Amino acid sequence: MVLAATRVYSSLPVVGKHLEPFAGLTAMALYGGHYAPAAVRAAISRRLNTSEAVAAPIDGEAESTRSSRMPPYLRFRAQRQRCLYRSSVRYGDHPAQLLDVWRRPDLPADAPVLLFVPGGAWVQGSRVLQGHTLLHQMVKRGWVCLTMDYRVSPVNRWPRHIADVNAAIAWARANVDRFGGDRNFVAVAGCSAGGHLAALAGLTPGDPAFRGELTDDADTTVDAVVGIYGRYDWQDRSTATRRNFQRFLERVVVGRSQSRHPEIYAAASPLARIHEDAPPFYLIHGEQDTIIPVGEARAFRDALQAVSRNPVEYCEVPRAGHAFDLVDNAHARHCATGVARFLGEVHDRKASLTAAAEVGA
């Protein structure tokens, strides 16, 4: 009844679009309580063990004293102000289909591109407050970064979310050169629900069920995928926590039961869509994640490595919980540097193969 009411008021003319975020918050409140006790216990445990070493910086990068003393919100805001090049660029016709462009003023020609998909349990997802540490790192290294909004539940049902991600990828393939990016190299990254969407987009570029309003010739392929504490299995009901998650999907995100429509959940599960031509993957997960247990990431990694012909790397962050990168801490910077290294290697490898092919021709 409550969820039905949120869908009604979110569909009202003029004011509905402003009320839509409250529908997502309502859905999270109804189902998020199941995870709260474990999350609180894990947070207290990590706080009581702060003497343990955190991940060491990679490539000699260290946090400055000034930066370490800056409140997280101000640090994020400073990163955004330094790197934001263009805000609220439309990648589609719907008001929610917006993205921001991050880049350096002195961007080198044909810079590689990273599209970032924010998380939020498929009911929230703002390009404004997520992924800043990663985006800042990539921009410093000469990349064009795009961070997107997409339509969310319960107002918008599955598969609208993945269709919007594919629309943003297609937009980048066709238009990112206007902002100095290379249309021939587009990677996608995402955290939590965004990690699910990034992985699914990377594994299913030709699936007509996920293309929405895109034309048949729109290119939705990606050159690499980064999954950050993502949800990779939409089918498992083996535990009480998993059953609660499946009920959330059924009632809030999909609007159809898994028992009657198992094909929907199989098609939306990255774990079930793995194939040998999967793009290169870099997976990151916190060891103490109580929202999406680390075992799910390990299982996805193992399945990918067993089948894919492309590189699959995995970074497990010690003592980190879910959403550990929402503040600009040592873990977030460590992971951002690892992602930058991995994507740089994938980009260099593709550039070398392209150059060799041109010489051979």
Q: Which two tokens stand for residue 6?
A: 């949120």
List phi, psi (to 5°) of 327.
Answer: -120, 150
Question: Taking the mean position of all CA atoms in its chain, how far away is CA 239?
Answer: 25
CA–CA separation, 345 and 338 (whole Å): 11
Element (H, E) at 307: helix 294-307
Q: Are 278 and 203 in contact (CB under 8 A)?
A: yes
Radius of gyration of the chain (CA): 20
Q: Is 275 noted as a catalytic residue in this protein?
A: no
Q: Is 18 noted as a catalytic residue in this protein?
A: no
Active-site choice (10, 153, 192, 308): 192
Active-site choice (223, 289, 325, 328): 289
User: Phi-psi category of 18—alpha, beta or left, where left has phi over 0 and alpha has psi -120 to 50?
Assistant: alpha
Work out whether strand 98-102 and strand 84-90 pair parallel, antiparallel, or are unpaired.
antiparallel
Q: What angle do CA 179, 180, 181 make, to 5 degrees?
A: 100
User: DSSP of 57-93, one letter per residue?
Assistant: PSTT----HHHHTS-HHHHHHHHHHHHEEEEEEESSS
Query: Shortest CA distance to 319 belongs to which of 131, 35, 36, 42?
Result: 42
Beta bridge partners of 90: 98
Question: Taking the mean position of all CA atoms in its chain, how far away is CA 138?
Answer: 15
Query: Shortest CA distance to 226 belongs to which of 185, 171, 160, 279?
Result: 279
Return the DSSP state at 178. Answer: G
Write a three-state SS string for 83-138.
Answer: HEEEEEEECCCCCCCEEEEECCCCCCCCEEEEEEECCCCCCCCCCCCCCHHHHHHH
Q: Are 201 and 162 in contact (CB under 8 A)?
A: yes
CB atoms within 10 A of CB 227: 31
Active-site choice (132, 196, 322, 334): 322
Q: Is 59 noted as a catalytic residue in this protein?
A: no
Question: Annotated active-site positions, please?
Answer: 192, 289, 322
